[in-house]
Amino acid sequence: MSDNFLPPHFGTDGLRGRAGEEPMEPETLRRVGAALGVLLQRSGGEHVRVICGNDGRESAPWILEALTQGLVAAEVAVTDMGLCTTPALAHLARSQPFAAGIMISASHNPSHDNGIKIFTHDGSKLSDADERELENLCAQLRPEHLSQPRIRIRNELLRNYEDHLAAVFSSLDLTDIRLCVDAAHGGGSLIAPTILRAFGAEVIEVACEPDGFNINDGVGALHPMRMVDAVREHKAQLGICLDGDGDRGIFVDETGTIRDGDDQLYLFGKQLHLQGDLAGDTVVATVMSNLGLHRALATLGIKVKVTPVGDRHVMLAMKAGGYALGGEQSGHILFAGDGKLTGDGLFTALQMLSIKGVREKGVAQAFASFRRFPQHLVNVLVARKPPFEEVPAITAKARAIETLLGTEGRLVLRYSGTEPLCRVMIEAADIALVEQLCRELAAVVQSELAK
């Protein structure tokens, strides 16, 4: 093992990177496994066990082996549930006698990437403090148990997740409903069609054939246009697009209109408000949510609590304020109560289909009163990520745009937490102006940071 080892840095959603390169290479992963094992052993208890799952990438087996070598060196037993979604893994960590869960996934990233998301025994992601402690331990530990580890295979544990959804939506009957489901050739490829059929739906499978390399390849939540064609071709009532690990959902209604997380927050916010179940009359959303969402909810007397990007930030704000609903434009929707504050595209779809009148009048009708501001997003590849205030040219251009937009528009400038990208997002009533301003600011960012 290298004597110049640099500990991994956990980003906005665990570890992520190109498989085989730092931090997603065997030495680092063994140390992460050992560090997690030490943390779990400190919490006490005998026969500490961890459950693992993956979203179908070809690198998953050797990543699991490296993690297990570290965990076994710390005297932690490992159970593998195989191909699954992140919310299914989180549910098993929460409902079964496991000290933690590890999801091997790079979410919406292409197949050459991979990552790990770590969940505690209550199904929530590790705290920032625990992640920092993991980083410190990784620098100290050198696990020597490098033999072929023993991993217990328990694919049947997925039935526990199926039973959970069946119990939550016990009154839901989807008989005579035709649904299209796109699992992005990822973790939901088997479980999503199975669960929807269990509720009686006729299911058309789209991108549900993982081969280790095709995950997110022009399909799934990031590429819903294929679902638009499928919904129209099969005359389906709803199209459900999951991302690679199934924790987000983008939907296509029967008219072929794409419905993202902002549409969903409006729909569920309105429904919970009418039922008297929207705690504090507040919806939690990130800085990326459309200004139209804020305006539409305000007309209903609903406030918006704004957080940084990332479902973890949404979850923390919901916990702190006792709020019932939150989410991201990207399709992460979190519900308190039965939703357990866990993003789950399939759970969200079932929740939508459970709303009174949706099946009878159609999904499109449920969204009819929501209007968004035109929004444009440009991703700029960058070589470095200094604070924006340290780059005068970017700061000056951003301030000029904000002055021009005033209260009738919005600029969001931020770095991706998982990729070498700077995201430039602008929204306002005039789409031509929005696109022009985005191009201008993106050009400045590229000039300053792409070298």
pLDDT in tens, 226-275: 999 999 999 999 999 999 999 999 999 999 999 999 999 999 999 999 99
Neighbours of 9 (CB within 10 A): 10
CATH fold for domain 160-258 = Alpha-D-Glucose-1,6-Bisphosphate; Chain A, domain 3 (3.40.120)
pLDDT band per the 50, 70, 90 thresholds, residue 445: very high
For residue 348, the model assigns a pLDDT of 98
CA distance 259 to 239: 10
The answer to whether the pTM exceeds 0.85 is: yes
Superfamily of domain 375-449: Alpha-D-phosphohexomutase, C-terminal domain (3.30.310.50)
Among residues of the chain, what percentage have pLDDT more than 90? 83
Give the mean pLDDT of 362-371: 91
For residue 9, the model assigns a pLDDT of 84
Q: Is the pLDDT of residue 219 over 70?
A: yes
Q: What is the pLDDT of residues 394-419, one digit of tens each?
A: 999 999 999 999 988 999 999 988 78
Give the mean pLDDT of 332-358: 94
For residue 8, the model assigns a pLDDT of 87
The active-site residue, picked from 59, 105, 107, 189, is: 107
Give the mean pLDDT of 158-172: 96
Q: Is the pLDDT of residue 359 over 80?
A: yes
Structure tokens at 212: 């280790």
For residue 1, the model assigns a pLDDT of 46
Superfamily of domain 259-344: Alpha-D-Glucose-1,6-Bisphosphate, subunit A, domain 3 (3.40.120.10)
Q: In the chain, list all ranges with CATH 3.40.120.10.
A: 15-157, 160-258, 259-344
For residue 171, the model assigns a pLDDT of 96
Superfamily of domain 15-157: Alpha-D-Glucose-1,6-Bisphosphate, subunit A, domain 3 (3.40.120.10)
Q: Is the pLDDT of residue 2 over 60?
A: no
Give the mean pLDDT of 179-195: 98
Average pLDDT over the chain, rounded to an integer: 93
Asked about 447 being catalytic, the answer comes back as no
Q: In the chain, list all ranges with CATH 3.30.310.50.
A: 375-449
